[in-house]
Amino acid sequence: MNATKLEFDPRGRLRKIGVALFSAALGFSITASALAADAVTLRVGDQKGGNRSLLEIAGLAKDLPYKIEWSEFPAAAPILEALNAGALDVGYTGDLSFLTVYAAGAPIKAIGGTRSNPRTQAILVRKDSPINTAADLKGKRLAGTRGGWGQFLINATLEKAGYKTEDAIFAPLGPVDAKIALLAGSIDGWAVWEPYVSYATLKDNARVIADGEGLTPTITFIVASDQAIATKRAAVQDLVQRLNKARLWSLDHLPEYAKNTAELTRLPEDVLLNAYTAQKTSPVVIDTAIVKEVQAASDRATRYGILGKTLDVSKAVDRSFTTAASGTN
The domain segmentation of the chain, as residue ranges, is 11-117+218-326, 122-211
What fold does the segment set 122-211 form as a domain? D-Maltodextrin-Binding Protein; domain 2 (3.40.190)
Domains 11-117+218-326 and 122-211 share a fold: yes
By DSSP bridging, strand 207-211 and strand 122-125 are antiparallel
pTM for the whole structure: 0.84
CB burial of residue 302 (10 Å; 0-12, 13-18, 19+): middle
User: Quick check: 183 pLDDT over 60?
Assistant: yes
Instruction: Give pLDDT tens digits for 250-297.
Output: 999 999 999 999 998 999 999 999 999 999 999 999 999 999 999 999
Can you tell me the mean pLDDT for 244-252?
A: 97
- Crossing angle, helix 254-265 and helix 233-252, to 10 degrees? 110
Mark 67-96 as b/e (b = at least 16 C-beta within 10 Å).
ebeeeebeebbebbbbbbeeebbbbbbbbb
What is the Cα–Cα distance from 300 to 309, expressed in whole angstroms?
11
Provide the pLDDT for residue 1: 40
Lowest mean pLDDT among 10-14, 98-102, 259-263: 10-14
SS3 content of the chain, % helix, strand, coil (to 5): 50, 20, 30
Provide the pLDDT for residue 28: 42
Closest CA relative to residue 219, chosen from 152, 143, 307: 152
What's the pLDDT band for 126 if we cut at 50, 70, 90? very high
Query: Per CATH, the architecture of 11-117+218-326 is what?
Result: 3-Layer(aba) Sandwich (3.40)
What is the Cα–Cα distance from 314 to 8, expressed in whole angstroms?
22
